[in-house]
Amino acid sequence: MEGWEGLEGKVAVVTGAASGIGAASARRLSALGARVVAVDVDADGVHGVVAGLPGPGLAVPGDVSREEDVRRYAQRAVEEFGRLDLHHLNAGIVGSFAPLPELTADDFDHVLGVNLRGAFLGVREAFRRYRTQDGGGAIVLTASIASLRGSHDLLPYQASKHGVLGVLRGAAMYGGPLGVRVNAVAPGLVPTGLFSDAAAAAGGGDDMLRRGTTVPLRRTGTPDEIASVVVFLLSDDAAYVHGEVISADGGSAIVNTVRP
Ligand code: NAD
């Protein structure tokens, strides 16, 4: 066996594919023989990632919080590759780090718009496409350690990522009888663009990296270490894994003490 089974020739959408975890997922899926449809608001970035894929790919600039953009990437995927099999719905932003009393309703709506509405629109579009095909399909959502526990000064992000688990479970209940598996990966701290944004908003990267040393594995993760969970969940090797959240966080989820 050379890699995860059942990915060869599949058409896989990856959102937030211009950088970080999404770019790593796009590369891995491509290396395993999938045809990748890479979606991101960063048009140059997503074209760059597709240009570097080892296999066929399609870059579709777009905003996952806009219904017309979501419909368009699915349409473009079908026009180019004839069908749509797999989804890694991963685009996300961290948003405002302000303390709770200073958060504005716009801060909240903006983060929920991308992370939660985006997850809903992506899942809904996936099912709309799957029902016109001959069955099957698999979806992985990028949740977060912030889906599972509290953290300081990140309320909109945390609320959005808890909501992603609601989308996951609702979609898994719907998809199970149709043979469509829906799962999530919950990353811990991974130095990416989003991580740098969070570090800057929190007052400095050093503090975020220090937090990385408090996880049981004593380090932050890499985008590739998250992508390997994603490709497993999308592959036939995960054929009986459904409605599940797999943490890839160096053990952070098991820590419930303030002691490092
Ligand atoms: P990243 O910033 O490198 O990647 C996020 C990508 O999403 C970017 O390319 C960005 O342009 C794109 N994006 C943002 N808004 C978009 C929109 N409206 N439509 C389409 N694309 C959009 O960060 P990352 O860490 O790779 O983030 C990927 C996912 O991982 C996010 O959902 C994030 O919440 C989640 N996550 C990251 C960490 C971490 O520590 N890095 C931890 C837990 C969860």
Give 58-95 pLDDT, tens digit per residue. 999 999 999 999 999 999 999 999 999 999 999 999 99
Measured between alpha carbons, how far apart are the two ends of the chain, in Å? 40
pLDDT band for position 258 (cuts 50, 70, 90): low
Structure tokens at 67: 């219904």
In a 3-state reduction of DSSP, which class is residue 204? Answer: coil
Using alpha carbons, select from 72, 159, 40, 43 the residue that is nearest to residue 110.
159
Say if the ipTM goes beyond 0.90.
Answer: yes
From residue 208, alpha-carbon distances to 12, 93, 103, 170, 211 in Å are: 32, 16, 21, 33, 5
Query: CA 86 from chain center: how many Å?
Result: 13
Give 184-228 pLDDT, tens digit per residue. 999 999 999 877 777 776 666 566 666 677 789 999 999 999 999
Which atom from ligand 1 is nearest to the alpha carbon of 189?
A: 40
Question: For residue 152, how many other CB atoms are within 10 A of its CB?
Answer: 10
Would you give the DSSP letter of residue 102?
Answer: G
Residue nearest to atom 24 of ligand 1 (CA): 20
* Residue 41 to residue 62: CA distance in whole angstroms: 5
pLDDT band for position 260 (cuts 50, 70, 90): very low
Mean pLDDT of the 152-167 span: 93
Q: Using a 6 Å cutoff on CB, does residue 140 contact ligand 1?
A: no
- Lowest mean pLDDT of 71-85, 224-238, 242-256, name the range: 242-256
CATH number for the 11-195+222-251 domain, one of 1.10.3720.10, 3.40.50.720, 3.20.20.80, 3.30.70.890? 3.40.50.720
Ligand 1: centre distance to CA 91 (Å): 5
Which atom from ligand 1 is nearest to the alpha carbon of 223?
A: 26
Residue nearest to atom 18 of ligand 1 (CA): 63
Ligand 1: centre distance to CA 166 (Å): 19
Using alpha carbons, select from 86, 81, 176, 83 the residue that is nearest to residue 122.
86
Choose which residue among 21, 28, 245 to substitute to test ligand 1 binding: the one with the highest number of ligand atoms within 8 A of its C-beta: 21
Q: Using a 6 Å cutoff on CB, does residue 142 contact ligand 1?
A: yes
Using alpha carbons, select from 215, 213, 199 the residue that is nearest to residue 154.
199
Q: Using a 6 Å cutoff on CB, does residue 226 contact ligand 1?
A: no
Q: Using a 6 Å cutoff on CB, does residue 114 contact ligand 1?
A: yes
Residue nearest to atom 3 of ligand 1 (CA): 20
Domain boundaries, the chain: 11-195+222-251
* Residue 41 to residue 63: CA distance in whole angstroms: 5
Q: Using a 6 Å cutoff on CB, does residue 194 contact ligand 1?
A: yes
